[in-house]
Amino acid sequence: MKFTLQFCFLCLLFLFSPKLSQAQLLNDPVTLKLVQKGLDHIYNYEYAEADAILNQVEKKYPNHPVSYILDSFVMYWKYLPIKDNPAKSKEYVSKLNQCLDAITKKYGKDSKDPEAVFYTIVARGYIAMMYNYNGELMSAAGEAKKAYNALITGLKLTERNPEFYFTSGMYNYYVEYYPEDHGIVKPLMIFFKNGDKALGLKQIDIATRQGVITRAEACFYLSHIYLEHESNFPKALTYTQKLAAWYPENHIFNMVNTETLLLTGHYDEAGKGMEKLKANNKGFYPIAYNTFQGIIFEKDAKNDTAAQKSYLTALRTPHDDQYTREYYAMAYAGLARIANRAGDKGKAKEYYKKALEKAEYKSIIKEAKAFK
């Protein structure tokens, strides 16, 4: 389930590619530039500026599917995590369904027009994710399957525009990685087109450099791959630093960049990010701050007492499964190391067991399983 849903979400922005369709908007470079500028404002949490720009797009192309997608994108970031806001979640899904209706009106039902395929992937992918967050797994699977079918159609257009290096790369990587990591799904993978992990990583990297609209998504997901799956923290840092530089007001990008700086031992450089996290004391960000503070005390200051206090504070802080779940695992792993150094192997084993209940990073799983 996680694999299929991730598939849908990976394609969220490639619909704006200007070379793939004869549709009016995609042949309008002035409007495309507005769309790109609007997206940059959204990423940087500048919603008033984004709304002003997106209103111009709506006036020029009334009732176009892109307007509903952009509106939903604003909501996704403005009310992050939107799943925790029932009223906004309902409005969000409504926007996406309006997009699907607009697609049918403009292109016809089940259209193979490239633009129609793009908007369908985005809308159904986001709806699938919302269903998944709410525990409605059958509904999520239905939406994800429809989005996946559209994605396969879109893969044929990969070489037509650099934006598609992102979507093709994500497919090539995850279609191979997921069954390797989740053996139970291997029999089901016969229904999927084969991929290539090395090629996938290369393609996503190209998107970070050549993509225009997809560059931020490519950087974000590629950093995630190197952090969680590949355990290559220096490589992840090359992408998180780009995001932090492009969008200095984006709390998620700052959080992930700070994490990556700490995991690569750049403790002094992480200071600015830590200051921002400390000031942002709402929602799930405090768990990041306290976990990171624990890492600094443990790894840099070599102060196990202070590190233990920070890790325990982190574990008393609410987390979000999508963005900060791993920080629980990091905190438990830190406490395990501290207990082991104190000679309490039983306590260390207990902490590592709890870390495994939360961990998705291969590095933490390997550390916990290796403890004897």
- pLDDT, tens digit, 9 for 90 and up, residues 149-159: 777 776 776 67
Give me the mean pLDDT over the 236-248 stretch. Answer: 97
Q: How many CA atoms lie within 13 A of 306 on its CB side?
A: 11
- Please state the length of the chain: 372
Q: For residue 117, what pLDDT is reported? A: 75
DSSP secondary structure code for residue 191 in this structure: G
Give me the mean pLDDT over the 346-363 stretch. Answer: 97
Phi-psi region of 344 (alpha: psi -120 to 50; beta: other; left: phi over 0): beta
- Take residue 175 and report the two structure tokens written for it: 């279609």
**With 70 as the cut, is the pLDDT of residue 7 above it?**
no
Q: How many CB atoms lie within 10 A of CB 138?
A: 8
**With 90 as the cut, is the pLDDT of residue 319 above it?**
no
CB 113 within 8 A of CB 21: yes
Min mean pLDDT across 188-197, 235-244, 271-280 is at 188-197
Confidence of residue 161 (pLDDT cuts 50, 70, 90): low
Give me the mean pLDDT over the 243-259 stretch. Answer: 97
Q: For residue 219, what pLDDT is reported? A: 95
**With 60 as the cut, is the pLDDT of residue 32 above it?**
yes
Q: For residue 27, what pLDDT is reported? A: 60
Cα distance between residue 109 and residue 103, in whole Å? 8
Q: For residue 113, what pLDDT is reported? A: 78
Min mean pLDDT across 90-104, 179-193, 297-311 is at 179-193
Q: For residue 185, what pLDDT is reported? A: 65
pTM metric for this prediction: 0.85
Phi-psi region of 148 (alpha: psi -120 to 50; beta: other; left: phi over 0): alpha
Confidence of residue 110 (pLDDT cuts 50, 70, 90): confident
Of the chain, the percentage scoring pLDDT greater than 70 comes to 90
Packing angle of the helix pair 271-279, 285-295 (nearest 10 deg):
140
Min mean pLDDT across 5-19, 35-49, 89-103, 288-302 is at 5-19
**With 60 as the cut, is the pLDDT of residue 295 above it?**
yes
Give me the mean pLDDT over the 147-176 stretch. Answer: 77
Q: For residue 22, what pLDDT is reported? A: 38
Give me the mean pLDDT over the 226-231 stretch. Answer: 97
Write down the mean pLDDT value for the chain. Answer: 86
Cα distance between residue 324 and residue 360, in whole Å? 11
